[in-house]
Structure 1
Amino acid sequence: MTSSAVSRAGTGLDPQGYIAREGSLGQVQAEFRPVVAAARDRVLAVFGPRLDSAYLYGSVPRGTARPGRSDLDLLIALRAEPTDADRADADAVGAALDEEFGQIDGVGVLLESRRRLLSDLETYDLGWFVACLCTPLLGEDLAEFLPRYRPDSLLARETNGDLALLLPRWRERVAAAAGDDELRRVSRLVSRHLVRTAFTLVMPRWNGWTSDLGEMAEVFARYYPEWGGRIRDAVAVAYEPVADLAVLASYTEEIGPWLAAEYAAVHGTKAARPGA
């Protein structure tokens, strides 16, 4: 049974009030099935015995991907901590898939160790991500070793309570951007992150989960109508990125600082990570 079949309508929760796992291989649209099959084969061939498990996430396993517009998102968990060579291999897998398949516009590969994904520090961030937002593709499903999750303040804090740390990095990327293509990549990244952070700010009050950016913006606007239009505009940029410095400045100098301060006041700040 898919997550959508067991969730309470409109909330993304199962009958017990836990966040239902989204996506499944059965929801992958026909156009993307050859891409997924190739990804499975290449990840296994490249990482072999180093591989613990691999997952899909994002629009492809949710069945909402747009041919020629959506990217393919992969999480690869290794038995040991990833090395520079492992990261180069992951980049090569992504580049090869992107070049071969016109159905996708880019491949994102997250590379982590089993130990980190199951660590206490990551239980309510990367652990939640695996258990609720990732679809198993290869190997043992690490969700079996993780708790069930409710849309509460702890989850809000540990997923997106680090916005204040991200803002300086975003400003640096904007300043260093070499041309419009890079600015569009940054605008896509930042707008998506802001929409998701705005949603998780109010997630415990709404008492539900969604990965749909448009729905996230509408839920947020119920509680912060004065900022609702700005977050709706960010959804549009998330789908149609822009090379507009004024838009990016509004994210890093207006919306982002306000959202970071409000988030910290409501939920607190995310637990510090080594080397953050």
Structure 2
Amino acid sequence: MTVTTSTIPPAPHGPFQPAYLDLIDDLRTALLAQAGELLDGIYLYGSVARGDATPGVSDLDVTLILRHRPAPRDASMLEALRLALAARHPEVSKIDFDIGTRIDALAPRHLHSWGYWLKHHCRCIWGNDLSRCFTPFPPSRTIALAVNGDIVEVLERQAREIEQLRELDTAKLVRRQREAARRLLRATSVLRAEDEPSWPQTLEQHAALFLSSYPAMREQIDFFMRHAGQGGAPDDQFVTRLRAFAGWLQLQLQLQQQQS
């Protein structure tokens, strides 16, 4: 059941799990040593930030806000640092950096994307905590579209990546299927009604809210829910079904635009 609320729940702020404390310290130390002049703030989001990660399975999701746009050498340095951190920390399956700049994060046109993201998902572990620049956001379809407006392109990119992994790396293939399934389930929020008062927090809540409006899609949602969990297996039908759902989603968005 989704949570009905006047404003979206705040970003996580509880204690970190002991299994990740060394990683978080290493992340902060390495970033400051190699990119300190570039950084405005370091944030965590996702399962590690919430304190419900699974060692060896969960990712470490990091948002980096930079003082200015990175030069090519800066981008290369950050990518090398990310890979080095991932190589020496098996307690996470991988490390992702989402990178933005201070000017973009504070721009009025990005209020419902960067503003919402920093306020309700990110916890600052170093630097300027820009989440303090925003008041809590009420649930809205505007936010869902701002955050997931490129979902069809994202799902197609993930489909191509999965195709390239077939028969090469089973563990990575399963992980990529899981990531794509989770992204798809969260992105169903783009079809929420503008006056919907709830704001899903879990995949189960996203699925339930979506199915309340589109019950005929239950079989498809059940398929992706199975692949969104741990312990999945490679599925030859996954890419086909991912693309089919993305195409259906694109059609629904076009219909909504025509009706508005």
Let me know the Cα RMSD of the aligned residues: 2.5
Question: 2:25 matched to which residue of 1?
Answer: 37
**For the Cα contact (< 8 Å) 1:23–1:133, is it kept in 2?**
yes
**For the Cα contact (< 8 Å) 1:220–1:228, is it kept in 2?**
no
Post-superposition Cα deviations, 1:215-242, rounded to whole Å, max 9, x if no partner, equal 2222222222211332232132123454
Question: 2:90 matched to which residue of 1?
Answer: 102
2:7 to 3, 10, 18: 18
Shift of 1:267: 6.5
SS at match of 2:76: helix
Question: What is the TM-score when the length of structure 2 is the normalising length?
Answer: 0.86
Q: Which has the higher contact order (CA 8 A, sep 6+)?
A: 2
Shift of 1:82: 1.8
SS at match of 2:112: coil
| Inter-partner Cα distance in structure 2 for 1:173 and 1:164 | 14
Shift of 1:35: 1.5
2:237 to 246, 259, 276: 246
Question: 2:15 matched to which residue of 1?
Answer: 27
Post-superposition Cα deviations, 1:123-149, rounded to whole Å, max 9, x if no partner, equal 211221111111111111112223432
SS at match of 1:126: helix
**Distance 1:48-1:146 versus aligned 2 partners, 3 A rule:** same
Report sequence identity in percent: 25
**Distance 1:211-1:10 versus aligned 2 partners, 3 A rule:** closer
1:149 to 127, 133, 137: 137
**For the Cα contact (< 8 Å) 2:141–2:192, is it kept in 1?**
no
**For the Cα contact (< 8 Å) 1:53–1:140, is it kept in 2?**
yes
Runs (5+) with no aligned partner, structure 1? 1-8, 269-276
| Inter-partner Cα distance in structure 1 for 2:166 and 2:141 | 39
Question: 2:105 matched to which residue of 1?
Answer: 117
Question: What is the TM-score when the length of structure 1 is the normalising length?
Answer: 0.81
| Inter-partner Cα distance in structure 2 for 1:139 and 1:57 | 16
125-134 vs 85-94, greater mean Cα deviation:
85-94
Runs (5+) with no aligned partner, structure 2? none
- Superposed, which structure 2 residues align to 1:1-276 within 5 Å? 11=3, 13=5, 17-24=6-13, 26-177=14-165, 179-181=167-169, 183-202=173-192, 204=194, 206-240=196-230, 242-252=233-243, 254-266=244-256
**For the Cα contact (< 8 Å) 2:8–2:136, is it kept in 1?**
yes
| Inter-partner Cα distance in structure 1 for 2:31 and 2:67 | 14
**Distance 1:94-1:166 versus aligned 2 partners, 3 A rule:** closer
What amino acid sits opposite 1:248 in the alignment? V
What amino acid sits opposite 2:42 in the alignment? A
| Inter-partner Cα distance in structure 1 for 2:143 and 2:24 | 30
Residues matched between the structures, number: 255
| Inter-partner Cα distance in structure 2 for 1:212 and 1:93 | 31
| Inter-partner Cα distance in structure 2 for 1:247 and 1:77 | 34
SS at match of 1:148: coil
Shift of 1:249: 0.8
